Structure 1
Amino acid sequence: MKQIQALMIQGTSSDAGKSLLCTGLCRILKEDGHNVAPFKSQNMALNSYITSDGGEIGRAQGVQAEACGLEATVDMNPILLKPKAEMTSEVIVHGKHFADLEAFTYRNEYVPRVLPKVQESIDRLAAQFDVLIVEGAGSPAEINLKDRDIANMRIADMLDCPVLLVADIERGGVFASLVGTLELLDPHERARVKGFLINKFRGRKELLDSGLEWLEQRTGIPVLGVIPHFDHGIDPEDSLALESLRLKARDRTDADLDIAVIKLPRISNFTDVAPLQEEPGVNVRFVSSARSLGKPDLILLPGSKNTVEDLLWLRHTGLADEILSRRKASVVGICGGFQMLGEVLHDPEGVESVHAQVPGLGLLPLETTFLAEKKTIRNSGRLLAKAFSEHEVEGYEIHLGRTYRKSGEPFLQFQSGEYDGAVSTDGRVVGTYLHGLFQNRAFTRDYLNHLRVKKGLAPLLGAVETESQRREKSYAALAAHLRKHVDLERIYEIIGGAHVLD
């Protein structure tokens, strides 16, 4: 097998910034003319990405592939774990459903079985690319899990690659987390760590310099960058990023429109919300209690990894009744949220829960039946609602249920001729299986203008950037940010020598 050059980014914790730094490094190497690809052996995330051939991988690797100028493949993330119940996850191998497994069973019985799949992916990537930017998971120093950890140092050993260790200074205790992580590594693992990156810094760096000097003297490992906090606009993946999305969604007193996103306990593909937060004059709130719903202009029911259980949660919390009482508010349901809007949800095979049948919210005339076979596909089509009929939209589907519309109009027609979604007779309630709907920026602006006009407000005018234009600007800005704050010459040397990569 061809030996591939690689650099692995590991973290002292989840949400330390591994995904974002890998994305930025992928873009930098692409800009510098290298044949580079991303890789993460095992991912745990509910925010997934659909490859062009219908495979399901972690969203971070899809984003990193875009930063490399590549179409993502399932080899870039051969194992994806999607939590669906207490201590149970769906295990996806090479983009397809493998099994629903309890954590202990997966760790003790199945990790040895899936590790060869990881090696297969490495071999295929090595045949196509010259450099891999490899992302770790969580922390490499989880003592109780290390013997079956297939996302950190074991992968570094398989690739025989150096490691950069990143820590989030915003959490506090950055020096303790870096030194403590090193102390818990085995000697050969510690020898792989060639540099530190300190992420999400705010303030004056000179106040940090004495600590950096101490860290380098204590460990003998250089600090290769102190990276200031950066509002990058790139899709997050980790569920911990929901907190940063919530903080980003502070109430805006100047907002024309108020959007309430129902923060379901098992919320998935939450990046569907992000484009709304970037629109001018819009306040987006995450709502998890009946008393905080308020009087929004739009209620958004997002995707769910367990629609039935999240629907029962809506009823238990009183949010279901509150949503039904807001008769002036528009309502949009995406994927699981779409299923909840119907009259009834059937689960005869216990695919999602122990409940064979659960009543829906009754806002759309449809019924959903859950089947074991998952649908994962990129899709595009034309909207059918009169107000938006000129819009072509694209996105992706990830769902188990099959929905039957009993009456009324569909929301859109895919290029295949298949219809999707439903619209209430008054146009107030919309449901669709299409994730990424609001990433169709021209549609999003028109839809929000429709809500403005409904309130007696003037619509916003002017051109709207496309999603691809926004993404390219974000990747370029992130790369420029890292070039300014990271010692790239040292990083190139660590990978294999500056421009030896050529």
Structure 2
Amino acid sequence: MTETIMLMGTSSHVGKSILATALCRIFYQAGRRVVPFKAQNMALNSYVTKDGGEMGRAQVAQAEAAGLAPMVDMNPVLLKPTGNSCSQVIVDGKPIGNMSAREYHKGKSVQLFGHVTAALTRLQQQFDTIVIEGAGSPAEINLKEDDIVNMRVAKYLQAPVLLIADIDRGGSLAALVGTLELLDEEELALVKGLVINKFRGDVTLMTPAVDFLEQKTGKPVLGIVPYLEHLGIDDEDSVSLEEKEHEAERQKQTKELRLAVVETPKISNFTDFDALADEPDAEVLYVRDAEELLAAAPDVILLPGSKNTTEDLLHVRESGLAQAIRQLVDGGTPLVGICGGYQMLGEEIADPHHTESSYDVVKGLGYLPMKTVFAEEKRTVQVAADCPGMEFYDGVLMGKGLSGYEIHMGRTEFTAPVRHPFHLTRQGENAVNIWDGALSEDGRIFGTYLHGVFDHDGFRRQFLNVLRLHKGLRPLPVQRNRHLEKERAYDRLAETVRKSLDMEKLAAIMEGRA
């Protein structure tokens, strides 16, 4: 029989994803066949699985912690906000259309619960432990009737629930008590324990609070988890992006290289730049307007992916960012675009089917001789590529067996001969011979559809060393082993949470002995 544990929060961003990741690692280290699960995610950061399905990145990190390859059954429903209270709805890894919040929550969501239960059934057949993550709060009365990610899942599985509160933001005791007060009798019975997360300071000072909670609620407090910084684990959404910006502000002017990421309103897959930010000589700054970009005086400008490329492109132009980018590029600053950012570098973007916006055509930034047309079908595929020798800036970038993924609606065609920086050798399971991306004539601007290209240690270090050489700095050897560091991060996280929680009590809860 498959054991389950479900983590719910008193609100969003209390640390459910990280604690679920920790439990996945703890159970994996104990030799269990453990798998993560979240019925419905809402995030702009997504990932493409080996079979071409799209899923949320939180379950990708949890899968890695559990020693598994990510698969869409871990996250059968994904909502990707497109703006104006609308989202693209992705079911079993494939988009089924765009819907307003009202249309989805008042009609479609409950219809999709069959996909949730089907995914759970398949996981139960393969694994002995499922770590389940909820979303937001189970006590949001206005959403409860149509909820498919919190108590509907717990009731379906009769899964024991741990309720988590974030003490760092304040009001955690009231949040725990209040959330329990708003649950019905069956839901309340499923909550088997409480967890206080993100605690700073002397944990012994929390003894009166723990005693109060247990007496007031009749629920045991399984532990107090300390505030964990610099985890080195992929983030999922815009709130974690805000945390990155705060961290960048703390590190301001302490590193030799400054990389400016243009933060557009619909920025997506900003995890493309996490590996760069982890380098000891690279400071990654997220800039929202022309003034911030010019003040940053960056060594390179990075245009990220976007969930709504046409509207983000209009924002770049209307906000003055396009003019600031032009000023810096004309002064010699290199410019790199990934996915949606790559599309923006061309002459125009056409959306004849209005798959992303109401605009038929939007003028591009004009740096590369190409035009992009949005198709009705999204391309989602894992790829392998070589970089045979890109003459970028003052150096040459090379790499073999670079793995990544594509996730885009646009199909790009070139209006003049152009150099392509990457040679695709595999798409999914198929061997291919396709060139990707474009490089400007002067070698200072390039774009690519490849997400994850900077995750490769050697290529990333070459990229940074080219910037260093231009500044008269000596090149550095490879500084990071990203795979090894992520594995160590999962182990550190698991060790901290294992020490913080009453693991015997958790085992009793999962085995039904509590």
Q: TM-score normalized by structure 2?
A: 0.94
Shift of 1:497: 6.2
| Whole-Å separation in 2 of the counterparts to 1:471 and 1:281 | 19
Which position in structure 2 is the counterpart of 1:410? 420
| Whole-Å separation in 1 of the counterparts to 2:102 and 2:14 | 26
**Aligned match of 1:338 in 310, 325, 342?**
342
Q: Which moved more, 1:415-424 or 1:466-475?
A: 466-475
Q: Unpaired runs of 5+ in structure 1?
A: none
Q: Which moved more, 1:135-144 or 1:106-115?
A: 106-115
Spell out the pairing of 1:85-484 with structure 2 (5 A cutoff).
85-230=83-228, 231-250=230-249, 251-293=251-293, 294=295, 295-327=297-329, 328-384=332-388, 385-386=390-391, 387-406=396-415, 407-415=417-425, 416-461=432-477, 463-484=478-499
CA contact (8 A) 1:391 1:443 kept: no
| Whole-Å separation in 2 of the counterparts to 1:453 and 1:10 | 49
Identity of aligned residues (%): 49
| Whole-Å separation in 2 of the counterparts to 1:165 and 1:36 | 21
Shift of 1:254: 2.7
Letter of the aligned partner of 1:58 in structure 2?
Answer: G
| Whole-Å separation in 1 of the counterparts to 2:205 and 2:334 | 50
CA contact (8 A) 2:302 2:336 kept: yes
| SS of residue paired to 2:383 | strand
Letter of the aligned partner of 2:408 in structure 1?
Answer: H
Which position in structure 1 is the counterpart of 2:71? 73
- The alignment's C-alpha RMSD in Å is 1.4
Shift of 1:106: 1.3
| Whole-Å separation in 2 of the counterparts to 1:121 and 1:266 | 29
Q: Deviations over 1:139-171 (max 9, x none)?
A: 111111100111001100011110001111111
| Whole-Å separation in 1 of the counterparts to 2:222 and 2:349 | 53
1:488 aligns with 2:498: no
| SS of residue paired to 1:418 | strand
Work out the number of aligned pairs and report it. Answer: 496
Shift of 1:187: 1.6
| Whole-Å separation in 1 of the counterparts to 2:210 and 2:29 | 30
Q: Deviations over 1:87-130 (max 9, x none)?
A: 11111110011121111111122123211111111111111111
CA, structure 1 residues 312+437, in 2 after alignment: closer, same or farther (shift >3 Å)? Answer: same
| SS of residue paired to 1:273 | helix
| Whole-Å separation in 2 of the counterparts to 1:74 and 1:410 | 32
| SS of residue paired to 1:396 | strand
CA, structure 1 residues 169+60, in 2 after alignment: closer, same or farther (shift >3 Å)? Answer: same
CA contact (8 A) 2:398 2:459 kept: no
Q: Unpaired runs of 5+ in structure 2?
A: 426-431
| Whole-Å separation in 2 of the counterparts to 1:280 and 1:324 | 29
| SS of residue paired to 2:163 | strand
CA contact (8 A) 2:261 2:304 kept: yes
Letter of the aligned partner of 1:278 in structure 2?
Answer: D
Q: TM-score normalized by structure 1?
A: 0.96
CA contact (8 A) 2:317 2:323 kept: yes
| SS of residue paired to 1:200 | strand
Q: Deviations over 1:155-195 (max 9, x none)?
A: 00011110001111111111111111111111211111111
Q: Deviations over 1:61-110 (max 9, x none)?
A: 11111111112221111111111121111111100111211111111221
Which position in structure 1 is the counterpart of 2:429? none
Shift of 1:408: 1.6
| Whole-Å separation in 1 of the counterparts to 2:489 and 2:462 | 23
Shift of 1:467: 2.7
